[in-house]
Structure formats: structure tokens, C-alpha cells
Structure 1
Amino acid sequence: MHTPESSKDTRYSPEPKDVLWTIPNAISVLRIMTIPVIAVMVSQRHLMISLVLIVVSAASDGVDGFIARRFNQVSRVGQILDPIADRLLILCTILALGFAHILPWWLLIVVGLRDLVMGILILILAQHGYGPLPVHYAGKTGTAMLMLAIPTLILADFQDTHFFGILHLIALAAVLWGVVLYWFAGVLYILQGAKLIREDTLHE
């Protein structure tokens, strides 16, 4: 399998291994399993439980990354599971927030369309023998902003006061910036993927 070059320093990011069961992978699987629970809690407006679950899920994202790097448990499966868990958490939570009338539906379409495009790109790259593309800082920043803004939106919906109204506007602005960065990174991935496919086609 081809692996596009990454600018990451291997001292901080060990080479991925072809192993399935690692502690970081188990954490990622648990994160994915909690996503439907979070979505149901949000859609039914059990906001405090939802907030706690989202915070724990977001914290576990950093924990599994730290464990993977610190104890040399970076795996190819983990490189796929981790972004899948992030995207599913964002997509399902935004869907639930739409059902709860906390976020507009067009936002779900914008986020969902980006992930659909990325899914198609991954499938096309796989046909050419390429694995996951290196993570771009813009994508990580956009994901982080969305994962911080979503629980803030839930928190802002607790009370109908001036303070929580301002908090809602700030969180909504963060969501919009997060979506912009999310799509900006998506365009970069598309350009990078197109370059790899073009080079692969020329070498055939």
C-alpha cells in the first residue's frame, strides 16, 4: 500500500503498525459506541447528560492519541478509527441538535456533504493503493472548534437569559468558523488526493 509522505517528525509520531487490538483502538471503539447514546440524549433534550458524555468523549480523543504516541501503539487501524469517531460524533450531534431545534438544518447538510466527499475520496484513493492522507492542521483545528462549540451550544440552551443568549451566539460563531476550516481542510485533501491519483496514473 502506498503511503503519502507526512511532515510529521517520527520522534513524536511513531510509524503505524499492522495491529488491531491496542488500548487507543479500544478507546476509539468505545467512543463510536457512545455516539448513538449522545445523539439520543441531545435530541430528547437531556442536556446535562449529553454535555457530560460529549466532554468525556472529546477528552478521550486526546487520551488515545497520547497513549498511542507515548507507548508506541500507533496503528493503521487507529489512524482510520480516530477520524471516523470524530466525524461521527460531530455529524450525529449536529443532527441531534437539529432535532432539538438548537442548530439550523442547513448546518447538518454542510457538514454531512463534506464528510460524504471525504468518504468518496478515501474509497478512490484505496482503489489506487493509498492509505489515509496525513492530517492537516486546518482539519484538526476545525474539528477541535466544532467539538468545543457543540457542548457550549448545549450549555447555552440551559436557560433563556441574556448571558446564555450571548453564549449561544459565541458558540454559533465558533461552529461557523469550525465548518469553514473543516471545508478548507477538505479542499486541501481533495487537491492532495487528486495529485496522488494523477501521479499514480502517469506511472502506470
Structure 2
Amino acid sequence: MEVQETRVQTDRVLTIPNLLSMARLVGVPLFLWLVLWPAFGGPKNDGWAIAILGLSGISDYLDGKLARRWGQVSRLGQLLDPLADRLFVLSTIVGLTWREIMPWWLTAVLLARELFIASLLPVLRRHGYGPPEVNFVGKAATFNLMYAFPLLLLTTYDNWLGTVASIIGWAFVWWGTTLYWWAGILYAVQTRRLVKASTVAD
């Protein structure tokens, strides 16, 4: 969930926070289909794609907040929440890049961060740890990017709305990308500390 110190309070699977995370996962392929359909000759459905992104952002905020308030923080939720975040970010990057709304170099910067995080997982696993828990900076980065992506989709409209969306959207992109990498560095620091503590314990 959103705060790293949050501890598991239930082993229940069918909780409202978990259902919200599951709904976000279901929304990933639907969003990707809506975004990519125009690239293959289908009608433009960017309005629906933006709506799904908006709902995803709202559910991302609610699942963590409700889990803590209702004492429904679970191990499944701690896995589903970051997984849904990451898949939505990746699917949006793919869709916007394919549609040539997002430049390839920015895609490379964001994907490089994902590869960087992935490189930490074998190290953690070797010392008996699971994936790093989501920290506040990581959540803030995802939140900024989830604001940026629908705004970038609005730039496809050739009017004043598209112009305003471009200015605000790219501001969110730069801030979100910076936080995304900052969170990655914090994960690396966390990994180093865990490995060092494990080595000392041995």
C-alpha cells in the first residue's frame, strides 16, 4: 500500500481494497485496446480510454486509504496494488508510444527504470526478501504519471483543450518521471541496506 510501514492486518482475499485493485488489473487490457484500436484503423475512443485512466487513478487512491481505515491491509493487496500500478503505467506507455503521442526517448527512460527495479529482485530473493514495498515517492510518481497520461491523450484534439492539456500534461510527465527514478534510487538504497543487514546477521 501507500505507506511502507503499513503492516498486514488480514489474510482475507475478498476485501473492497483488493476488489478495487483487481478491477484496475481488468482495466489494463481494456484500456490498451481502446488506445491502440485507432492505430489499426478502428474508430477513435480516446474519451473512453481517458475515463478508464481516471477511474484507475481514483481506485488507486481509494484502495490504500480504505485498507488502512478499515483494517483490511492484506498480503494480497500489497502484491496487487503495485502490480496494477506498474501494468497500467507500462500499458499506457506502450499505447501512447505506438500512437506517436509519446516520444520513444521518453519511453526508453521510463522502461529503463523498470529494468533497473527488475535487476534488484534477484538480489533481494537471494537474501530471502520479496519485492521492495511501495514507498511514498513511488506512489507520488505513479500518481503524477496517471494524471499526465490522460492529458497527453487529450493533445490529440486539435483545439484549445488539446493545447492546454499539452502544457499541463508535459509538466506532470517531467515531474512524474523525475519522481519515478528517485523512487527507483530509494528502492536500490533499501535493497543495499537489507542485503547489508542480512550479511551482518549471517
Per the shorter chain, which TM-score range? 0.7 to 0.9
Give the corresponding residue for 2:174: 176
Paired letter, 1:190:
A
The question of 1:26 aligning with 2:24 is answered no
Counterpart Cα distance in 2 of 1:52 and 1:169: 20
Give the corresponding residue for 1:196: 194
Stretches of structure 1 that go unaligned for 5 or more consecutive residues are 1-5
**In structure 1, the residue corresponding to 2:129 is in which secondary structure?**
coil
Normalising by structure 2, what TM-score? 0.86
**In structure 1, the residue corresponding to 2:61 is in which secondary structure?**
helix
Q: Is the 8 A contact 2:154 2:161 kept in 1?
A: no
Using the TM superposition, give the Cα deviation of residue 132 of structure 1 relative to its aligned residue in structure 2, in angstroms.
4.2
Counterpart Cα distance in 2 of 1:203 and 1:105: 45
Give the corresponding residue for 1:3: none
Q: Is the 8 A contact 1:91 1:108 kept in 2?
A: no
Q: What does 1:30-109 align with in structure 2 at a 5 Å threshold?
A: 30-44=23-37, 45-109=44-108
What is the percent sequence identity of the aligned residues?
Answer: 39
Counterpart Cα distance in 1 of 2:149 and 2:113: 18
Please, what is the CA RMSD of the aligned residues?
2.1
**In structure 2, the residue corresponding to 1:20 is in which secondary structure?**
coil
Counterpart Cα distance in 1 of 2:11 and 2:122: 20
Give the corresponding residue for 1:147: 146
Normalising by structure 1, what TM-score? 0.85
